[in-house]
Amino acid sequence: MSIEKLSRIDSIDETDKIRKESHDTTQNDSRRTSILNQSRRQSRYSFTIRKSIFGRHGSFIGLSRGGMNKNIKYENTYRITPKPNEKIKQKQLQNLIQTTLDNTLKDVTYEPKQAYVLSMNLANMLRKSVRELNTPSRYKFIVQVHIGSPQNSSIFISSQAVWNIEMGDTYASAIFSNSKVFAVVLYMLYIFE
């Protein structure tokens, strides 16, 4: 046996001996005493240096999980406009919105208490379906969904914005109406730099 193995066996035997001595069955306390030196101060947070295959690294032990997270910073691409294949076509966007409206609202009856939930679900559904059109992450979406009852009601909706068409900003609108419910959707996309 090598000297290292013998010293390891000796230290294991000593540790077992200390554990047996420290665990006194006559104590009323249900907790065992520590094998560590009692004069050693144990703190909740500590900075330790440990060796690894990559050299010496320091780490904080006991900190909260979110305390050491760093935000990832991406390098600037210095691109102001999207590539030509990244621009969303207005006609394609309008067809997608109209198809989604027709499929979703064809069997729906207007109920005032459910209109809020329905409009939120429809806006989220439209947002996801447009995101699947291979849109770059530089686009920001604004979706407005108005749902109402067609009986004895009228509505005027207008929207104004400052657009830069060369940059790729676009919008689409769609209307759905039957005898039970009507819906108006305004979908705006703009490049955010």
Hey, what CATH topology would domain 84-191 get? Ribosomal protein S3 C-terminal domain (3.30.1140)
Q: How far apart are CA 38 and CA 22, in angstroms?
A: 12
pLDDT at 94: 93
| Dihedral of alpha carbons 22, 23, 27, 28, sign | positive
Q: How far apart are CA 174 and CA 186, in angstroms?
A: 7
Task: From residue 19, give the alpha-carbon distance in Å to each of 14, 15, 23, 35, 113.
Answer: 9, 6, 6, 6, 68
pLDDT at 146: 93
Q: How far apart are CA 65 and CA 168, in angstroms?
A: 40
Choose between 169 and 192: higher pLDDT. Answer: 169
Hey, which residues does 173 pair with through a beta bridge? 186
User: 57-113: per-residue pLDDT in tens?
Assistant: 555 454 455 556 678 887 877 777 777 777 788 898 899 999 999 999 999 999 999
pLDDT at 125: 94
Q: According to the per-residue pLDDT averaged within each range, which of 3-12, 31-40, 84-93 is highest? A: 84-93
- The domain locations on the chain are 84-191
